[in-house]
Structure 1
Amino acid sequence: MKTPIRFLRQLISFLLIVGFATQVNGQILKKLGKVAERAAERTVERRVDSETSKKTDEVLDSILEPGKKEEQQVPQIPPMDGGNDPGTTGNPQGTNSPVGNGGSSGVKPIEVYSKFDYVPGDKLLFFDDFSNDFIGDFPSKWNTNAGGELVTIGDSPQKWFELKSGYNIYFIPDVPKLPEEYTIEFNIMALGLTKRTSSTAHLRVDLSDDQKFKEGGNFAQAHIPFCQYSPIGITIENRINNKREIYSTVKADIRNEIVDGPHVSIAVNKERFRLWVNEVKYIDVPRLVPSGSILSTLKFHANNFKDGEERVFITNLKVAEGGLDLRQKLISEGKVSTNGILFDSGSANIQPQSMGIILQISQVLQQESGMNLNIIGHTDADGDDASNIQLSKERADAVKKALVEVYNIDPNRLRTDGRGESEPVGDNGTLDGKAQNRRVEFVKQ
């Protein structure tokens, strides 16, 4: 009976304290309240940490272990067109295979591009692979009314510009005023796409008469879809003097290309607008662009992506004046020079997107049966003279090999030469100048 009596005495003492010490009791309750509040905060923090860790793990899994979750569709790092330099440099990873080889698993052999008829402009207006900018910064050669930053993905040394998604958000590269005839090329990448990605998620390419952050009274647009559950198609739209003339969606199932990270090419020849995704031409509209070269500004706009889950990136933006038919120039003048034939960095492996130019050269040789050509390779001033001479010769040989093996041109009609860095046409101290110097010439013998 001692234990219940002791307990009873303690209970009576406690009740007396509660009854006669109101002020003390109030202070105790306040302290208990603060303790409870801190406990609640810690619980919330633990929940937040848990959710953050979960999301972080999902992102890391998507990058380091793509395909781990059946629903998630995350691309591998794609072959980069242009690499650290435009022109005839190319992919620093060397993922594309040489002419005549089948290539590694998942990489299309160059023969797939044998009918690719895109020809890039020959006068460089703008190029940016962000090599001169720091990771985490907004790129120095762009403008926006929102925000964005440069990132790396996985182990790739390539820098990517992450575009924020949102209504009326624009990203504007510092491209000089667009001429009447020009070409645009870039690589895009998406992470976090699933079967639930919206049918309205898209990257829009704008050509506009407004230099800032509006659509403008005159524009031409292409909407590149990122939806994965259905083939949405590519939408094109224009406005001429504030009046819509064209709004249509062209049938295009590019879901696999989007997941793999495609190369996009656009050619504007006065009013004509053409668009390719990798080697396939999907858009060819003769009068989409308002006449008179009034669309002076290039803009990018990403919209309807889930914030924090679906991410869109761009790199290797190249804008060049021209994109004209090289065939007539070669026939009439007996010589053409182009920096549109691209190679993997430091190698002679031709980037398959370059085949449009080589196709045109082959067509001239097939038509002009008596014509023989000297193919001359040129490099920029990076590296030593001897190495550049050797590299330029190997690149000329690679172009000859493509003409012979892909287009069945008689090898006896083709000579090759390498001039290295000895005949610059641009300033090797600038990125644009280096791009101009990396070129291939075709000279009638």
Structure 2
Amino acid sequence: MKTKYLYTVLALLSISFSQAQLLDKLKKKAEKAAERTVEKRVEKETEKKTDEALDEVFEEKSSKKSKKSSKKSGDESTSNSSNNEIVTGSNFFPGGQVLFSDNFKQDAYGDFPANWNTNSGGEIIKVNGEKAFKLNPSGTYTAKTSKLPENYALEFDLVTENLDYKGLSGSNFGLVFSNESTLSKPKNGGKFGFSLWKGSNICNQINVQNWGKTNGKIDNNIPFKMQEKFNTITHFTVVVNKSRLRVFIDNEKAIDLPSFLSNNFGNYIQFYLKGTDPKEKHIVAISNVKITEEGEDIRSMLLKGGFSTTKILFDSGSDKLKKESYAFLDKIAKVLQDDTTIRINIIGHTDSDGDDVKNMTLSKSRAAAVMNYFIDNKGLNKSRFMFQGRGENEPVAYNTSAEGKAQNRRVEFQTLK
């Protein structure tokens, strides 16, 4: 009996131990399953975060690439759409002799400026602490200048405020060019102008017109986003080279018409304003007006066959270039870099002082020095140049005065075909 009882107890203990082992195994399996679940969850979350981080990296790279492809630098902008590199744009920075300048500092606030004429009215106002000349609607304005030369640049800032919707449907601002000193419409002339109605797309174009018996007939609208230029200060540079008119707005070229001012109808300039309403507090003003005499642009002169200049200087009796010559040489180099079809013959000239044989040698070595400046400093190809010396044999003035001798000491550029 005792033995049977003992077997029974042992059997129960064995079952209990087996159950305990089973429970322990089940517990371990459950723990491992839970661990695998957690690991999978962690892996999934980690993968998600990694993907998000990678997306941000690639998006940033894509954004930088997009910005880089559309970035503007200096006087040019580049586009890489369709794998084509397209370079556009230009600018002009006047640097000639000042013919007229007015920042209105001598004029009192509320007065009409002393250096101007008008058939309407206007007054001096303050803009950002500086004086500006506020124009009246339906007015024409001229600066008190003498007849302007064939080649000049006009700079001014256009100040505008409150140009949104109301009362601007017929507004217009622009410049008139003529060979008459008048406040009326000239018999022969040309003009460019644009609407001031910021609330309409009509202002995103510039109208150009010319008229008269001896002027070419042009009446056209040139697309340009003036809308974004309103209610701020916008810088204009207007360049006249005989019959050619160029207009740069915030250093971006907006107009370039080679024969717009036929027969040089650009000797006088009128500013005009139409259609604004003082009751709506529309403000159209000009400031920092300056006119400088500029030489005909170098590219035009080269395309016409060439030119000579006394702006290239050398040490006395030497072919060593003076530093004062570099700025002008750089302008010529820029034209040659931009237009690779132009080839030139560089010719040196001297005055009659000294031995004529030595002058011939000196003139030739000076021409070579100019050529070498373009090659060594500007990377231009030698095949685009020739050089010669003419010594004292081709004077353009008498060698009997210092002024005449200075004119004869020159460098000539002839365009090669």
Larger % of strand: which?
Answer: 2
User: What do residues 105-155 of structure 1 show as CA deviations (whole Å, max 9, x unaligned)?
Assistant: xxxx994445533242612211111122221211110011221110102xx
Q: Report deviation, 1:229.
A: 2.5
Q: Report deviation, 1:273.
A: 1.1
Match of 1:247 among 210, 214, 219: 219
* Counterpart residue identity of residue 251, structure 2: E
Q: Quick check: 1:123 aligned with 2:94?
A: no
Match of 1:210 among 180, 185, 194: 180
Residues 206 and 241 (structure 1 numbering): CA distance in 2 closer, same or farther, change over 3 Å?
same
Structure-2 separation of matches of 1:364 and 1:212: 37
Structure-1 separation of matches of 2:379 and 2:216: 47
Residues 207 and 334 (structure 1 numbering): CA distance in 2 closer, same or farther, change over 3 Å?
closer
Match of 1:179 among 123, 127, 149: 149
Contact 1:238–1:244 (8 Å) recurs in 2: yes
Structure-1 separation of matches of 2:72 and 2:131: 25
Contact 2:179–2:267 (8 Å) recurs in 1: yes
Gaps of 5+ in 1: 1-108, 337-355, 373-402, 410-445
Structure-2 separation of matches of 1:320 and 1:130: 18
Contact 2:133–2:286 (8 Å) recurs in 1: yes
Residues 141 and 250 (structure 1 numbering): CA distance in 2 closer, same or farther, change over 3 Å?
same
Contact 1:170–1:300 (8 Å) recurs in 2: yes
Instruction: Give 1 or 2 for the bigger CA radius of gyration.
Output: 2
Residues 113 and 243 (structure 1 numbering): CA distance in 2 closer, same or farther, change over 3 Å?
closer
Secondary structure of the residue that 2:334 maps to in structure 1?
helix
Aligned equivalent of 1:385: none
Q: Report deviation, 1:277.
A: 0.9
Q: Report deviation, 1:234.
A: 0.2
Structure-1 separation of matches of 2:252 and 2:150: 24
Report the TM-score, using the length of structure 1 for normalisation: 0.48
* Counterpart residue identity of residue 259, structure 1: N
Aligned equivalent of 1:300: 271
Q: Report deviation, 1:192.
A: 1.1
* Counterpart residue identity of residue 371, structure 1: Y
Contact 2:151–2:242 (8 Å) recurs in 1: yes
Structure-2 separation of matches of 1:302 and 1:111: 34
Secondary structure of the residue that 2:185 maps to in structure 1?
coil
Aligned equivalent of 2:35: none
Aligned equivalent of 1:31: none
Structure-1 separation of matches of 2:132 and 2:154: 17
Q: Quick check: 1:133 aligned with 2:107?
A: yes
Match of 2:249 among 262, 277, 291: 277
Residues 133 and 179 (structure 1 numbering): CA distance in 2 closer, same or farther, change over 3 Å?
same
CA RMSD across the alignment: 3.6
Larger % of helix: which?
Answer: 2
Contact 1:162–1:312 (8 Å) recurs in 2: yes
**Matched-pair identity in %:** 25
Residues 135 and 357 (structure 1 numbering): CA distance in 2 closer, same or farther, change over 3 Å?
farther
Secondary structure of the residue that 2:278 maps to in structure 1?
coil
The 4+ residue runs of structure 1 with deviation greater than 6 A are: 327-331, 356-359, 364-369
User: What do residues 166-220 of structure 1 show as CA deviations (whole Å, max 9, x unaligned)?
Assistant: 1xx2111012102222111110011111134634322120112332221110111
* Counterpart residue identity of residue 313, structure 1: A
Q: Report deviation, 1:408.
A: 11
Aligned equivalent of 1:158: 130
Aligned equivalent of 2:291: 319
The aligned length equals: 245
Residues 239 and 121 (structure 1 numbering): CA distance in 2 closer, same or farther, change over 3 Å?
farther
Contact 1:146–1:170 (8 Å) recurs in 2: yes
Residues 288 and 182 (structure 1 numbering): CA distance in 2 closer, same or farther, change over 3 Å?
same
Aligned equivalent of 2:123: 149
